[in-house]
Amino acid sequence: MKANPMVKFLLFTALPVLAIYLLFRINTFAGVIGLAAFILIAVIANRALIYRIRGQAEYAKGNLENAAKQFGKAVQLQKSNVEMKVNYGFILLKTGKLDEAQRILQECVSQGRSEDEKNLAKSNLALVLWKKGQLDQAISMLQEVIVKYKTTAIYGSLGYMLIEKGDLDEALKFNLEALEYNAENAIILDNAAHLYHLRGEMDKAEELFLKLKEKDPRFPEAWYDYGRYLEDSGRREEAAEMYEKTLSCTFSFNSTISREHVQECLNALRIENEEKSE
């Protein structure tokens, strides 16, 4: 049973503050000692939260290895915190540590105290299976999860996987549903625009790519997919600009394209443009 919020406030905030105040009334030295002790106890009691905040800060800066270390320390202190462990597993995935990520996320599925916690873990575990080459298993897991646990992230992941599987009709049906769920999300917009491009529906593709461009996404696939569309539309100079934009993004292990591949596409366009100008 969870403690009453008021009781927690009295125990962990009001009473210590009152005690420190009384110590300062006795004498300044006693007050300083009391305050220092309170700060030390607070730091020790909240080490997991401190490590988590540090991990989030490192992740925001793109320092995935450092983020993984901080989340790993937090998880060691709060092994029962499923949400924190899922975050840790996701970062392990992004650093390419697939076996460790799978182990952590499978633990989360088993330890989840609610269906939402279990489905959160499964939605991330499916990404690990996908990166391990188990596309059908990953799709099946997400299709099972999304029946009761709908999130923008799952719509984005499953939308892409269905495109990768190659059944463009099934992929279109699902990605239209994803657009209805959240037409403002950059990943969902990219999936739908890329899919229309693959289907040869170029006008619909451009309409969505223009909406996507306005959002200035920071993941490389968005600009790369737009570049491929522009290249296939004969707008090669614009395509080169999109490939340059792609290279300015951060790539990680779970990126669906590599920096080297994008550079090759850009180099090929530059050579072609040079030949035309001669």
**Count of beta carbons in the 10 Å neighbourhood of residue 59:** 19
Supply φ then ψ for residue 96, to 5 degrees.
Answer: 90, 5
Q: Which residue in 117, 104, 106, 187 sits closest to 145, CA to CA?
A: 117
Mean pLDDT, rounded, for 48-65: 78
Helix, strand or coil, per DSSP, at residue 126 = helix
pLDDT tier at 275 (50, 70, 90 boundaries)? Answer: low
Non-local (6+) Cβ contacts of 60 within 8 A are none
pLDDT of residue 238: 95
pLDDT tier at 37 (50, 70, 90 boundaries)? Answer: low
Between 109 and 41, the more confident residue is: 109
- Using the predicted structure, report yes or no on whether residue 72 has a pLDDT greater than 90: no
Question: What are the C-alpha distances in Å from 215 to residues 1, 74, 169, 211?
Answer: 44, 34, 27, 7
pLDDT tier at 34 (50, 70, 90 boundaries)? Answer: low
CA atoms of 51 and 71, how far apart (whole Å): 6
- Give the dihedral sign, CA 249/250/253/258: positive
pLDDT of residue 55: 73
pLDDT tier at 149 (50, 70, 90 boundaries)? Answer: very high
pLDDT tier at 6 (50, 70, 90 boundaries)? Answer: very low
Give the pLDDT confidence of 193-217 residue by residue, as tens digits: 999 999 999 999 999 999 999 999 9
- Using the predicted structure, report yes or no on whether residue 121 has a pLDDT greater than 80: yes
- Using the predicted structure, report yes or no on whether residue 74 has a pLDDT greater than 50: yes
Domain locations in the chain? 138-148+155-215, 218-278
- Using the predicted structure, report yes or no on whether residue 4 has a pLDDT greater than 60: no
**Contact (Cβ atoms closer than 8 angstroms) between residue 92 and residue 100:** yes
**Contact (Cβ atoms closer than 8 angstroms) between residue 206 and residue 194:** no
- Using the predicted structure, report yes or no on whether residue 274 has a pLDDT greater than 80: no
pLDDT of residue 212: 97
Give the pLDDT confidence of 223-273 residue by residue, as tens digits: 999 999 999 999 999 999 999 999 999 898 889 999 999 999 999 998 887
| Overall fold of domain 138-148+155-215 | 1.25.40
pLDDT of residue 178: 98
Most distant CA pair in the chain: distance in Å? 89
- Three-class DSSP labels, 164-225: HHCCHHHHHHHHHHHHHHCCCCHHHHHHHHHHHHHCCCHHHHHHHHHHHHHCCCCCHHHHHH
Cα 66 to the chain's mean position, in Å? Answer: 16
pLDDT of residue 3: 45
**Contact (Cβ atoms closer than 8 angstroms) between residue 127 and residue 138:** yes
pTM above 0.85, yes or no: no
pLDDT of residue 47: 62
pLDDT tier at 156 (50, 70, 90 boundaries)? Answer: very high
CA atoms of 74 and 20, how far apart (whole Å): 29
CA atoms of 225 and 59, how far apart (whole Å): 25
Mean pLDDT, rounded, for 112-134: 95
Mean pLDDT, rounded, for 56-60: 80
Non-local (6+) Cβ contacts of 218 within 8 A are 249, 250
pLDDT of residue 63: 83
pLDDT of residue 190: 98
Helix then strand then coil, % of the chain, to nearest 5: 80, 0, 20
CA atoms of 161 and 155, how far apart (whole Å): 10
pLDDT of residue 252: 87
At position 135, the amino acid (one-letter code) is L
Angle, to 10 degrees, between the axis of helix 186-198 and the axis of helix 202-214? 160
Q: Which residue in 220, 222, 270 sits closest to 248, CA to CA?
A: 220
Mean pLDDT computed over every residue of the chain: 86
